[in-house]
């Protein structure tokens, strides 16, 4: 009788240890997944801030750069592309494909803004305009915020993906449907930082 109680106690103890281990692993994955989601939300908010600045920037430039309509139209088109519902992806639906779509749209918007800023160099009166100066300071601040939020996102993804790939977490992660999150990658020529000059 004593032996059977020891065996039952050992089994119960083993079940408790196994449950605690699975619970701890699962909760750790959920916590790190939520950190990735939070970081992605910050990236999206900073992208939105940049998109919201564009109409004011375009309307300010439009008055001075009458002969640069093609550049202005391109910026407006890229802004529209960057705000499509398929581009503003919820972090829970973030995979390599959707992530690539978001990055493509944001890179095209950045490129169009760069072309606009190059165009502005031809108009010294515009560069002296107070509204334009204010918008440029806001745009520069927003670009810095985007850079910082992307860095934080990368850190959160690194922690999450590292945990996901470790044994035995990788087995439990597969059972519970956790998948790796994508990283930002530098686009060609990213090693040369764009200059925003007033």
The Cα 184–Cα 84 span in angstroms is: 20
- Average pLDDT for residues 121-128, to the nearest whole number? 74
pTM > 0.95: yes or no: no
Q: How many domains does the chain have?
A: 1
Residue-wise pLDDT tens digits, 144-182: 999 999 999 999 999 999 999 999 899 989 899 899 998
Give the pLDDT confidence score for residue 134 in this predicted structure.
87
Q: Is residue 122 part of a domain?
A: yes
Q: Is residue 125 part of a domain?
A: yes
Q: Is residue 191 part of a domain?
A: no
Domain around 88 = 32-176
Give the pLDDT confidence score for residue 198 in this predicted structure.
43
Q: Give residue 23's pLDDT band: very low, low, confident or very high (50, 70, 90).
A: very high
Q: What single string gives the DSSP state of each residue in 133-183?
A: HHHHHHHHHHHHHHHHHHHHHHHHHHHHHHHHHSTTHHHHHHHHT--PPPP
Give the pLDDT confidence score for residue 186 in this predicted structure.
65
Q: Is residue 89 part of a domain?
A: yes
Q: Is residue 7 part of a domain?
A: no
CATH number for the domain spanning 94: value is 1.20.1440.20
Q: Is residue 112 part of a domain?
A: yes
Q: Is residue 2 part of a domain?
A: no
Give the pLDDT confidence score for residue 67 in this predicted structure.
55
Quick one: which of 146, 138, 140 has its CA closest to 184? Answer: 146
* pLDDT over 70, % of the chain: 87
Q: Is residue 16 part of a domain?
A: no
- Average pLDDT for residues 87-92, to the nearest whole number? 70
Q: What are phi and psi of 181, to 5 degrees?
A: -105, 150
């Amino acid at each position: 009788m004593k032996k059977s109680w020891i065996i039952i106690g050992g089994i119960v103890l083993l079940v408790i240890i196994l449950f605690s281990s699975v619970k701890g692993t699962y909760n750790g994955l959920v916590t790190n997944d939520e950190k990735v989601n939070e970081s992605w939300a910050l990236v999206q908010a900073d992208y939105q801030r940049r998109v919201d600045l564009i109409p004011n920037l375009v309307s300010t430039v439009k008055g001075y750069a009458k002969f640069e309509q093609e550049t202005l139209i391109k910026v407006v088109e890229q802004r529209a592309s960057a705000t499509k519902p398929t581009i503003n992806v919820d972090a829970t639906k973030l995979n390599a494909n959707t992530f690539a779509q978001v990055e493509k749209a944001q890179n095209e918007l950045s490129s169009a803004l760069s072309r606009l800023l190059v165009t502005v160099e031809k108009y010294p009166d515009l560069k002296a305009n107070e509204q334009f100066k204010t918008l440029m300071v806001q745009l520069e601040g927003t670009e810095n915020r985007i850079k910082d939020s992307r860095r934080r996102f990368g850190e959160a993804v690194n922690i999450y993906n590292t945990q996901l790939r470790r044994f035995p977490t990788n087995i439990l992660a597969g059972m519970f449907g956790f998948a790796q999150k994508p990283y930002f990658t530098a686009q060609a020529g990213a090693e040369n930082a764009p200059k925003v000059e007033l």
